Amino acid sequence: MNTQQIKQRFGIIGASPILDRAIDVATQVALTDLSVLITGESGVGKEIMPQIIHQLSARKHNKYIAVNCGAIPEGTIDSELFGHEKGAFTGAHDSRKGYFEVADGGTIFLDEVAELPVQTQVRLLRVLETGEFIKVGSSKVLKTDIRVVAATNVNIGQAIKKGKFREDLFYRLNTVPIVLPALRDRKEDIHLLFRKFASDFASKYRMPSVKLSPEAIVLLENYRWNGNIRQLKNVAEQVSVIESSRDISEEILLKYLPNTIDQNLPTVFKGDANSDLSERDILYKVLFDLKGDVTELKNLVFGLMKNQGNELGDLENNPALVQSIKNLYNKPQEVDRQEDNQVYKPQILPKEESSVQHEELVEESLSLADKEKEMIIKALAKYNGKRKSAADELGISERTLYRKIKEYEIDN
């Protein structure tokens, strides 16, 4: 059976070479009993691959069970997969067969396999290596002849580093990897899929099918589709049901594409607030934030000193003070950071440059420290000890103000 015949049999739409390669690998591995790991973003259609593998294998007349590992509570996942004996836990009034026992001789599809608890991963590894398992609450070893196909949208490498997924289990599952492309990597298929969905919804709701203008097609193909095929199908259904006109322009389609600025265009990565950082990365970030706060405070104090010449004396006639400030702002502070074979060093500015553009010094001169302390005391007094208001007046963060209060032992 060739690739085109498989697409027709399983209702797969698309002509992308990346998709054809994934189908070709699934077809070849189906004839064996090797474990398969399917990876790809959520919504790319990973669930169709294990069906292809099962239906084209010698096990096609036996059971095929699909299990969503992320939808089963951690406390019952072992019982669901491997079964349990009567009285094994509260509520276990009868013994029960697990999926590995029920599907003996067939295929089991473990979707979202990265969501399995570590303890369950150990049990699964034993099944894959020896074909043996033990029911919850039993000591009897049972045998099973089952083919395991797993899928995940998680970065397994990162999960292994965090200790959330066993490396040995990964290599055992990943005997044959199949990678399904994201929809944005299959631009040539996007309009084909939309037309198919629009036709299906037209039949379902008994109405003419919608048609996209050339401009709308370009918009459709350049949108990022973070939800992949699932999101595209949802948009096609909304447009088919809500719009009275069957001719869909770019302006109409825009209303159904959330965050349309997030199209498939190159962009600068600014980091993810929810991404996992190492302790070293977090420490560096805190230190650099503190460094910026100190610089900001010094700039403010320097500006105040220039604007309050009557209190400090004429700066032009006070060369010692001017030199002290210049020394403070011109002395470089070098912070080396070795990461990924790169060294980061703050740029050292020439002494003749403006004292506002500088790399600051951690060690403070006594004259500036006294003035800084004086400004903080005045700001606190002005706002009756309210640190937030005082920090706003000084132009610094409340965290920096709190640190300075402790540093200068100011009685607040």
Q: Give pLDDT tens digits for 76-114.
A: 999 999 999 988 888 888 899 999 999 999 999 999 999
> What's the CATH architecture for 184-254?
Orthogonal Bundle (1.10)
Whole-prediction pTM: 0.62
Q: Is 25 helix (H, G, I), strand (E, B) or coil?
A: helix
Q: What pLDDT does 346 receive?
A: 46
Token readout for 140 is 């009897």
Work out the pLDDT band at 305, boundaries 50, 70, 90.
Answer: low
Work out the pLDDT band at 155, boundaries 50, 70, 90.
Answer: very high
Query: Of 65, 58, 1, nearest to 32 (Cα)?
Result: 58
Q: What pLDDT does 275 receive?
A: 47
* pLDDT tens figures, 327-374: 555 555 444 444 444 444 444 444 444 444 444 444 444 457 777 888
Q: Are 137 and 82 in contact (CB under 8 A)?
A: no
* pLDDT tens figures, 211-255: 999 999 999 999 999 999 999 999 999 999 999 999 999 999 999
Q: What pLDDT does 278 receive?
A: 53
pLDDT at 49 over 70: yes
Tell me the angle at which helices 3-10 and 17-29 cross, rounded to the nearest 10 degrees.
Answer: 90
CATH of domain 3-181: 3.40.50.300
Token readout for 32 is 């064996």
Report percent pLDDT > 70 for the chain. 76
Q: What pLDDT does 393 receive?
A: 83
Q: Are 394 and 376 in contact (CB under 8 A)?
A: yes
Average pLDDT over residues 279-290: 67
Which class for 234: exposed (0-12), middle (13-18), buried (19 or more C-beta within 10 A)?
middle
Q: Which residue has the higher pLDDT, 364 or 133?
A: 133
Token readout for 30 is 């189906």
Token readout for 118 is 């570590």
Determine the length of the chain: 412
Q: What pLDDT does 129 receive?
A: 94
Report percent pLDDT > 90 for the chain. 57
Q: What pLDDT does 323 receive?
A: 61
Q: What pLDDT does 285 receive?
A: 65
Q: Would you list the domain boundaries of the chain?
A: 3-181, 184-254, 279-408
In terms of phi and psi (left: phi > 0; alpha: psi -120 to 50; beta: otherwise), the region of 23 is alpha
Q: For residues 355 and 344, what is the distance between their CA atoms, to the nearest angstrom? A: 22
Q: Which residue has the higher pLDDT, 96 or 286?
A: 96
CA distances to 315, 317, 321, 325, 349 from 354, in Å = 16, 19, 16, 11, 9
Q: For residues 374 and 358, what is the distance between their CA atoms, to the nearest angstrom? A: 24
Work out the pLDDT band at 311, boundaries 50, 70, 90.
Answer: very low
The region of weakest confidence among 211-215, 257-261, 387-391 is: 257-261
Work out the pLDDT band at 402, boundaries 50, 70, 90.
Answer: confident
Q: Which residue has the higher pLDDT, 317 or 173?
A: 173
Q: What pLDDT does 363 receive?
A: 47
Q: What pLDDT does 269 receive?
A: 44
In this structure, the dihedral spanned by the alpha carbons of residues 262, 265, 266 and 270, taken in order and rounded to 10 degrees, is 0
Query: Of 236, 212, 189, nearest to 13 (Cα)?
Result: 189
pLDDT at 141 over 70: yes
Work out the pLDDT band at 205, boundaries 50, 70, 90.
Answer: very high
pLDDT at 308 over 60: no
Q: What pLDDT does 44 receive?
A: 94
